[in-house]
Homo-oligomer: A and B are copies of this chain.
Amino acid sequence: MTHKATKIVIITEKLIVEGVTKIIEEAGASGYTMVQAAGKGSRGVRSSGRPAVVDAFANVKVEVITATRDMAEQIADKVAARYFDNYSGITYLEEVEILRPHKF
């Protein structure tokens, strides 16, 4: 009674969350979830010269369940192209099983 879907996870700076969610909505996703996050990234650089280790919860982890894998990759590519030269961020995909497909 489940069907497979793709979850895309975007972890990035809170500063750009509005732009990220705009990309998600423009891609046609019906919703997203975000949580406040802290962390340390691989690049050791952040916008505004702030240190790489952020004790305050200045990052955000955004998750989107997409009906198609194409949509997931499209969101990831657009977010990376628009922001990741200047802001810290990572994206990855996970396979999930949705129990109530009509909700997505």
User: Residues of A at under 8 Å CB distance from B?
Assistant: 1-2, 5, 7, 9, 11, 21, 25, 30-43, 57, 59, 61, 65, 73, 76-77, 80, 84, 90-100, 103-104
Contacts and interface: CB of A to CB of B under 8 A. Distances in A.
B35 A61 contact: yes
Given A5-B92, A7-B92, A96-B93, A35 B35 contact: yes
Contacts of A59: 33
Number of copies of chain A assembled together:
3
A56 B57 CA distance: 15
Interface of A is mostly: strand
A12 to B, nearest CB: 10
Contact of A42 (B31, B90, B92): B31
